[in-house]
Amino acid sequence: MSFSTLGLSAPILEAVAQQGYETPSPIQAEAIPAVLEGRDVMAAAQTGTGKTAGFTLPLLQRLSEGPKVQGNQVRALVLTPTRELAAQVGESVATYGKNLPLRSAVVFGGVKINPQMMTLRRGVDVLVATPGRLLDLFNQNAVRFKQLEVLILDEADRMLDMGFIHDIRKILSLLPKKRQNLMFSATFSDEIRALAKGLVNDPIEISVTPRNAAATTVEQWIHPVDKKQKSALLTQLIRDNQWQQALVFTKTKHGANRLTRYLDDKGITAAAIHGNKSQGARTKALADFKQGEVRILVATDIAARGLDIDQLPQVVNFDLPNVAEDYVHRIGRTGRAGATGKAISLVCADEFKQLSDVERLIKQLLPRQPMPGFEPVNLLPESRLDLRVKKPKKPKKPKQPKVEHKDGQRSGDNARGHKPTGKNRRHQAGQGQSQGRNQGKPSSRRRPGAKPAGSDQRAAPKG
């Protein structure tokens, strides 16, 4: 199969050929015809499978056949969770649509909003946006959706993980009801399907990779090491293997900064990208890394989502992620489009739980390669592959409020026929004798205004 058999126009096919692509990937072969037919699509695909072109190519084809966009209007909206992914999708739209009379724009936070407002004033055919900045632009009357034809949610699972669900629902309420909807996600979790119920109509479901599966082209292993020795071990690996390019993941922003400084001090050029970095700094770090001016790019999970780096030879997990699914996303940065790659994890004893979760998820034990001179003092326990399905924990029953009982009486004692004991028995017996002596005798004490016993006046009905 070739791209020419999928129904794409000559200008788009020419742009694809100029990028050196001849055969569509599995996700492209299934998604492109469905989108061209105008169908709603739910596609499960890991990064590196060509999913961006899978919706970009048919989207451009459809828009090239439609009406001209008006000022401040948008014909197609692509929502992404991160700035980097937005920039990547925007670049793809510009690359494949360069032979078409269409306008596109990319908007996200972290940069000045005025230039973005100026770009939108003429209207754009394709707008790639992060949810927060899009709502800001709408509130300032810079963007309108009267002409919207297509909505695309890219990496929908990550948008939910990052807490964008409320922003997404706000955006959906602003869009025309009649539109084509495309949803791309690494997995179809219960949360994703719940979101899809209010979004897609009679969708075609496409799944080209097993759920949470690691790419078969990626070789994976771990180096057991004490936490304090990780930086030194990473430096040794870079020097021994003469790595010219490696993407390193840390758990925290501060950890990324510390590791970057350490590598720089050792004469290894490194740069960090994370949420605290300005957009300009993140863009420069990624550009320097791609051009080879920086050997090591240190990133947190959120910042690295959507990074598209051709022929990345290795990924290093300096820290294992707390969420096992993120391990699959991380190592998916290498071994893309059929190329081979390596995924190395530096694991200390404190990370055994995270290691077990990862191995359980990918259904395999990761080989261990101890490094001479870096044998851990705190030994990493041996792994056992447990594939049993974890049962959800039963919610704890709420504690019943304490009921006050007189004289230490237990709840329901008298009702169940329990005999009073000890002091309570003598007390209750005394009460019974007193009641027996006074039975039939009217009380000499009455409340002021109370009627005498035996009065035949009936009480007034209540209410």
The share of the chain scoring above pLDDT 70, in percent, equals 78
Q: Which of 128-137, 336-345, 429-438 is predicted with the least confidence, judged by mean pLDDT?
A: 429-438
Q: How confident is the model at residue 336 (pLDDT cuts 50, 70, 90)?
A: low
Phi, psi of 223 (to 5 degrees): -115, 110
Predicted pLDDT of residue 102? 96
| Residue pLDDT, tens place only, 95-114 | 999 999 999 999 999 899 99
Token representation of residue 74: 């948008």
Q: Please say whether the dihedral angle defined by the alpha carbons of residues 360, 362, 368 and 374, taken in this order, is positive or negative.
A: negative
**Strands of 270-273's sheet, edge to edge?**
218-224, 341-347, 314-317, 246-249, 296-299, 270-273
CB 8 within 8 A of CB 60: no
H helical segments located in 65-109: 83-96
Closest to 34 in 3D by CA, of 207, 178, 205: 205
pTM greater than 0.95 (yes/no): no
Distances 227 to 266, 350, 381 between C-alpha atoms, Å: 19, 8, 15
Average per-residue pLDDT in the chain? 83
Predicted pLDDT of residue 16? 92
Phi, psi of 369 (to 5 degrees): -125, 95
Q: Which of 13-27, 171-185, 242-256, 422-436 is predicted with the least confidence, judged by mean pLDDT?
A: 422-436
Other beta carbons within 10 angstroms of residue 39's beta carbon come to 17
The share of the chain scoring above pLDDT 90, in percent, equals 53
CB 58 within 8 A of CB 126: no
Pairing assessment for the beta strands 124-129 and 104-107 based on DSSP bridges: parallel
CA torsion 4-5-8-14 (nearest 10°) is: -10
Predicted pLDDT of residue 450? 47
Distances 13 to 21, 24, 92 between C-alpha atoms, Å: 10, 11, 14
| Residue pLDDT, tens place only, 369-398 | 999 999 999 999 998 876 665 555 555 555
